[in-house]
A = this chain, B = another copy of it.
Amino acid sequence: MVSNPRLSKLIASIPQQTAWLLSQPNDIRYFSDFGFLVPTEREALLFVSANHVGLIHATFSPVTGEPGISYYEGCHVTRLTTHLEAIREQSQFSNLLIDADTLFVSEYQILKKIKGLRIANLDHQLIWQFRMIKDEREQELMRQAGQITHQAFQALRPQLKAGMTEIDVKDLLEAKLHQLGSPSTAFPTIVAFGEHSALPHHQPTNKPLETEMSILIDFGATSDGYCADMTRTIWFGKKPAASFLEIESIVKAAYQAVIERMEMKNEDGDGERDGSLQKNGSVKGGDVERRGGRRQLQAKHLDYAARSLITKRGFGHEFIHTTGHGLGLDIHEQPSLNWKNTDPILPGMTLTVEPGIYLEGEFGYRYENTILITEDGGERLS
């Protein structure tokens, strides 16, 4: 009955007597192809059990009618009891797992009143296990988003002029994204001139661009909901500061070290052992994990590749964030490339690699691309 292979896989994983209630919009989209119109309103809830899939949706939402999904109109909390009765007539579940991070208290209070229903929190990690590995269609959309992002930056660069503000540059870049076919940005665009770039999350201001100044731009296109994420830091002028050139070479080397680490992910042989980063920023060698005689690349190994290089060059304390994160329909997905995450890095994952060094009061330098993990290493998408 169900034709969506993602949904079939999910159904197969759910035991009898149990239903999952999905409320995170991109989870619902992933498993049901439901197209959201209004990101700020509750527009859909998806019940999935072994023998019934019910999608409750807002009256204003267009539904395509996917095979194997029953649709229930009206998403307001006051309709929940009636819909749930109808759904339970189709599927006799007594355990309901909820996504506590995205279900509202008023919805929960309604569910709690239903007799014979045991409610527990769903571990969202179970959902990431599905969503982390992108299928071919998803990879193609991620590739499109990456290409649009790259092209928009190439088109912007020759048009940068002294006197433009950070907001001007943001507007120009977003207009280019739109022209190239991206209906929205993947996240709020960061444009930071000079010392503003020392704050990783700086938001554009009316600060004007001057010659001989650094510019950090962090942005991304979307393609059918899939996100790209790219950062470039460039020098506007002809005489880059010596400190800028030094930091640039370190960050780019750190980025390259991560890419190379991806490429030898199934190798056992270079003799170097991945170290483990301590909370105080120091690096301790050790902890190689093996599976079937081969080392399984983990998220923390990619972080280590970047962090150990930057730390050795003396800027470990100025690399104040993780090395990257998964992305897809959401801009921040699992796995996080942090110093302690042992999640395996597997083909089909899409990740950002984004080492950076931030010198307060001077400037920040970040270099970032969106990468698809392949059998051989990483394919750069942006």
Given contacts A37-B203, A40-B40, A203-B62, contact A103 B101 (CB under 8 A): no
CB pair A188 B77 closer than 8 Å: no
- Asked if residues A201 and B59 are in contact (CB atoms below 8 Å), the reply is yes
Asked whether A128 is an interface residue with its Cβ less than 8 Å from the other chain, the reply is: no
The answer to whether A378 has its CB under 8 Å from any CB of chain B is no
Contact of A104 among B40, B77, B102, B187 (CB under 8 A): B102
Size category of the A interface is 20 to 34
Q: From A101, which residue of chain B is reached at the shortest CB distance?
A: B106
Taking CB as reference atom, which chain B residue is nearest A124? Answer: B106
Docked complex: A120-163 residues within 8 A CB-CB of B = 121
A142 vs B41: C-alpha distance when bound (angstroms): 22
Instruction: Report if A39-B40 is in contact (Cβ < 8 Å); known contacts: A101-B106, A106-B100.
Output: yes
Task: Say whether A38 contacts B188, CB under 8 Å.
Answer: yes
Chain B residues whose CB sits within 8 angstroms of the CB of A105 once the complex forms: 98, 100-101, 103-105, 108, 121
Verify if A109 is at the interface (C-beta below 8 Å from B): yes
Q: Are A101 and B100 in contact (CB under 8 A)?
A: no
Q: In the complex the two chains form, is B100's CB within 8 Å of A109's CB? A: yes
B25 touching A40, Cβ below 8 Å: yes
What CA separation (Å) do A262 and B182 show in the bound complex? 44
Question: Whole-angstrom distance between the alpha carbons of A37 and B104 in the complex?
Answer: 21
Across-interface contacts of A121 in B (CB, < 8 A)? 105-106, 109
Contact with B along A31-74 (1 / 0, CB 8 A): 00000011110000000000000000001111000000000000
Question: With the chains together, A61 CA to B203 CA distance in Å?
Answer: 8
Scan residues 68-98 of chain A and give those whose CB is less than 8 A from a CB of chain B.
77, 98
With A and B bound together, what is the CA distance between A100 and B108 in angstroms?
A: 9
Shortest C-beta distance, A230 to chain B (Å), equals: 17
List residues of chain B with CB within 8 A of the CB of A100: 104-106, 109
Q: Which residues of B contact A77 (CB under 8 A)?
A: 101
- Please name all residues of chain B whose beta carbon is closer than 8 Å to the beta carbon of A187 when the two chains form the complex: 38
* Bound CA–CA A187/B101 (angstroms): 25
Closest B residue to A104 by CB, please name it: B101
Of chain B, the residue at the smallest CB distance from A59 is: B201
CB distance from A372 to the nearest CB of B (A): 24
Q: Within 8 Å CB of A201, what residues of B?
A: 59-62
Q: Can you name the residue of chain B whose Cβ is closest to the Cβ of A61?
A: B201
Q: Determine the distance from Cα of A61 to Cα of B37 in the docked complex, in whole angstroms.
A: 25
The digit string for A220-252, where 1 denotes a CB below 8 A from any CB of B, is 000000000000000000000000000000000
In Å, the complex CA distance between A105 and B102 comes to 7
**Minimum C-beta distance from A21 to chain B (A):** 11
* CB proximity of A266 to chain B, nearest CB, Å: 35
Among A39, A77, A105, A109, chain B packs the most CB atoms within 10 A around the CB of A105
CA distance A68 to B238 in the complex (A): 47
Q: Are B106 and A104 in contact (CB under 8 A)?
A: no
Task: Determine the residue in chain B with the shortest Cβ distance to A37.
Answer: B188
Q: A60-B201, A100-B109, A103-B105 are in contact. List 10 more A-B contacts (CB 8 A).
A: A37-B188, A37-B203, A38-B188, A62-B201, A98-B105, A100-B104, A101-B105, A104-B105, A105-B108, A109-B121
Identify 9 residue pairs between A and B in the complex whose beta-carbon atoms are under 8 Å apart, listed by A's number.
Answer: A59-B201, A60-B201, A77-B101, A100-B109, A101-B106, A102-B104, A104-B104, A106-B121, A109-B121
A residues contacting B by CB (< 8 A) are 25, 37-40, 59-62, 77, 98, 100-106, 108-109, 121, 187-188, 201, 203
Give the 8 A-B residue pairs with the shortest CB-CB distance, closest first. A60-B201, A100-B106, A100-B105, A37-B188, A105-B108, A103-B105, A39-B40, A101-B106
